[in-house]
Chain A
Amino acid sequence: MANGYAGQILRVNLSTKGVAKQPLSEELIQEFVGGRGFVAKLLWDELPPGTDPLGEDNMVVMAAGPLTGLFVPGSGKTHFGTKSPATGGYGDSNMGGHFAPTMKYAGYDVIIVTGKAAGPSILVVDDSRVEVRDGAEYWGMGAIDCEKALKDDLGEEFQIITVGPAAEKLVKYACISHDFGRQAGRTGVGTVFGSKNLKAVAVRGTGTIPVVDPAGALEKGKAMYQSCYNKPGFQGWTPFGTAGITDWVNEVGAFPTRNFQTSYFKKYKEINGAALREKILVTDKGCFGCPIPCGKYSRARTKLGQVTVEGPEYETIALLGGNCSLDKIEEVAYANYICDQLGIDTISGGAVVSFAVECFEKGLLSETQIGRKIAFGDLESIVYLLEKIATREGIGDLLAEGVRTAAARIGGGSDKFAIHIKGLEWSGYECRNAPGMMLSYMTADVGAHHNRAWALGFDISGGSGSVTDLIQGKGERPASLSVFDPAAYAAKVDKVIELQHMRPMFDLLGVCRLQWVEIGMEVSHYEEIMPLISGKQMSLADLLVVSERVWNLTRAFSAREIPGFGRSFDYPPGRFLEERIPDGPSAGRVMSKEEADWLLDEYYRKRGWDENGLPTAATLEGLGLGFAAETAASRAK
């Protein structure tokens, strides 16, 4: 058995209730390390090309990495991958919590679910005992309620993932929920659970993860934690978690507001980290092994009632706060809770709701079609729409498809303000004054998601040691708005590519990136601890090569699965190319089509992709992806 790994892949076919276990192959470990790497390779190898995302043949891959579950900061990450019902291409999403560590203690680095259960089901993994059970009594429950019911029924020590009613109704952006507030929110991984009649997976694990040098790993682990404790950000960042960046994003004019109409929300101080901590916090709530818990568990009272919810974290503040214009932290928390129970991704959910409100304001959706008047800043409107979406009643049936499909059906130019890339709604950073970040969104493999390459700090301040440094104003901040300049833009392209390898590297290892991103824990620790865990040298450079390999493979996967995939899928929506930001610190900025094209040309060239944005055969072969080259070549013709 390979050290650092549990050693097995667990396969469950829901159609037959068949369960199989196979050893994790040395080759898979060598070439793809873990987590997101395993997800990408297994999807490429095993998903029949052209599979319907909601069909029986689609797979959900859940994967840990070699550091998941170990005494390493932030070792609680679980990676999920599937063919995305939101985009039709490569889909993945990850979450913190305690699930993948427990998978490994139970003996599995990977769980693959395929097929479709005859009726509502749950999967129970109790160490070596694996069983598909009837789940009828849980069907229809809110995601949080379902987790509580399963904890009560199975035992507190089970770690559980659930989906809510939105997944049951095949809402395209349904999430997977865990630990009463953690979500794998993006790309509709929860939707695929729903399509398989799979309501939940519960895992209990009592085993030990083998490591080659336990004493050495203990000492190195201590050094990594100590490094975190000694960073200024340990005290500066932890109290507010991700919500702590709300002020900065507004002050630099990058905060999604009123469906991305502008990039500055006047009342941002009512919904920032300080408001959260002072007004609604119950307890800090961390993931497994985390020294800097960003989870903020809250209790909030609004005119619609009182809720207890984990959050809101930054993305939720951006999309349900600024973008839906809720200007009280209690109301953001309330909408957060509604999404969490329904099992709706707060990012896509917030983006879809704000899109609908703008359609209503512009007369493209009528009061009759919607069933009531709706408005920005009105909690009742937002909750109404979320509930319609989750039940697919009335207008909800259309909105459940996401903004790209909704805009195509609504027409009237609404596609210009359907804010997405590749069909995935845009997350919490408005980029008309941040070309690097815009490129990051344009080229993110899953669609408009920020976490692959958060280049915003580089755009605004020309680089920084950590997000805490940015918030505290260290580093240069240009006084003027960004202006096209080939040298500066080329540096942005380089930075995006660098980050697209660096940040997903953490996803390979199965650890959280925030210890590095937010407070600046040195990345050199990872190459130093790997030999103590696995017995093998794995330098940072080696890991980044794997990251690049995965980046190209996921691109090739989308090219394989999406008819006509290529450059045309990489452009930002019309709003960002045609409308100037009307107010706030970035007022006046717009990205021109020429800028977007320049960035794409430069990016494709540096990546070794053709002008249509497809990896060339030579690039794929150079990365050990010769098996994907033939498919890519046939697409390029």
Chain B
Amino acid sequence: MKIAAAEERCSGCRVCQLVCSLTLFRETNPGKAAIRVKGEFPEPGRYWITFCDQCGKCAEVCPVEAITADGGVYRIDRDSCTGCGLCVDTCPKGAMFTLAGEDSPFKCELCGACLEYCPRSAVFDADGGIPIRRW
């Protein structure tokens, strides 16, 4: 599974954020999603999607090796993480997220729920494992 985005298909519904926060944290809270949608209106009239493509830069910069790859998915070991924030600052996509009152950031663990439930396939599986939805 490889996450990719076709932002021109996005309609800004934030279903990705809803399904993500429920999956990651068992909470209904789009602010706790590892994917984010932002609209740019009234001009030019489009959406931006922030997501992790598992590039691994976070693991490269982590001073305590708290971020490791497992089958192409980078995960944070919260016990090892010191909360230094270097990965957050370094992430080229801006897809390492923090929560108020929590030291460790959180990130996408490529569960695929957003790819499966995006009504528009605006985020989709570039490996083709999940069919592109037509509307």
A residues touching B (Cβ–Cβ < 8 Å)?
69-71, 98, 101, 105, 144, 148, 156, 179-181, 206-209, 211, 214-215, 217-218, 221-222, 225, 228-229, 234-235, 238-239, 282-293, 295, 297, 299, 308
What class of interface size applies to chain B in its complex with A?
Answer: 35 or more
In the complex, what residues of B have CB within 8 A of residue A288's CB? 13-14
Contact of B46 with A by CB under 8 A: yes
Bitwise interface map of B from 16 to 52 toward A, beta carbon under 8 Å scored 1, else 0: 0011001100111111100000110111111100000
8 A-B residue pairs with CB within 8 Å: A70-B28, A211-B28, A222-B117, A238-B135, A290-B11, A290-B15, A291-B119, A293-B12
- Closest approach, in angstroms, between the C-beta of A16 and any C-beta of chain B? 31
Contact of B120 with A by CB under 8 A: yes
Q: Are A284 and B28 in contact (CB under 8 A)?
A: no
In the complex, what residues of B have CB within 8 A of residue A290's CB? 11, 13, 15, 119
Q: Are A206 and B28 in contact (CB under 8 A)?
A: no
- Closest approach, in angstroms, between the C-beta of B56 and any C-beta of chain A? 28
Q: Are B42 and A180 in contact (CB under 8 A)?
A: yes
- Closest approach, in angstroms, between the C-beta of A144 and any C-beta of chain B? 6
In the complex, what residues of A have CB within 8 A of residue B135's CB? 234-235, 238-239, 292
Contact of B133 with A by CB under 8 A: yes
Contact of B79 with A by CB under 8 A: no
Apart from A209-B28, A215-B26, A217-B22, what 13 extra A-B contacts exist at CB < 8 Å? A144-B42, A207-B29, A235-B135, A238-B135, A283-B45, A283-B47, A286-B12, A290-B15, A290-B119, A291-B13, A291-B119, A292-B119, A293-B119
Q: Are A208 and B29 in contact (CB under 8 A)?
A: yes
Select one of A207, A225, A299 contacting B119, CB under 8 A: A225
Given A286-B11, A291-B13, A293-B11: A222 and B120 interface contact (C-beta under 8 Å):
no
- Closest approach, in angstroms, between the C-beta of B120 and any C-beta of chain A? 7
Contact of B70 with A by CB under 8 A: no
Select one of A218, A229, A297 contacting B23, CB under 8 A: A218
In the complex, what residues of A have CB within 8 A of residue B39's CB? 179-180, 285
Q: Is the interface of B mostly helix, strand, loop or mixed?
A: loop
With most chain A CB atoms within 10 A of its CB, the pick from B23, B32, B42 is B42
Report the separation of the CA atoms of residues A144 and B43 in the bound assembly, to the nearest whole angstrom: 11
Q: Are A299 and B31 in contact (CB under 8 A)?
A: no
In the complex, what residues of A have CB within 8 A of residue B134's CB? 235
Report the separation of the CA atoms of residues A249 and B117 in the bound assembly, to the nearest whole angstrom: 33
Q: Which residue of B lies closest to A296 (CB)?
A: B11
Contact of B8 with A by CB under 8 A: yes
Report the separation of the CA atoms of residues A235 and B134 in the bound assembly, to the nearest whole angstrom: 7
Contact of B64 with A by CB under 8 A: no
Report the separation of the CA atoms of residues A148 and B43 in the bound assembly, to the nearest whole angstrom: 10
Q: Are B13 and A282 in contact (CB under 8 A)?
A: no
Q: Are B43 and A308 in contact (CB under 8 A)?
A: yes
Report the separation of the CA atoms of residues A71 and B30 in the bound assembly, to the nearest whole angstrom: 10
With most chain B CB atoms within 10 A of its CB, the pick from A105, A292, A293 is A293
Q: Are B8 and A214 in contact (CB under 8 A)?
A: no
Report the separation of the CA atoms of residues A295 and B42 in the bound assembly, to the nearest whole angstrom: 14
- Closest approach, in angstroms, between the C-beta of A106 and any C-beta of chain B? 11
Q: Are B117 and A218 in contact (CB under 8 A)?
A: no
Q: Are A208 and B13 in contact (CB under 8 A)?
A: no
Q: Are B46 and A221 in contact (CB under 8 A)?
A: no
Given A70-B18, A71-B18, A221-B22: A289 and B133 interface contact (C-beta under 8 Å):
no
Q: Are B22 and A218 in contact (CB under 8 A)?
A: yes
In the complex, what residues of B have CB within 8 A of residue A215's CB? 26
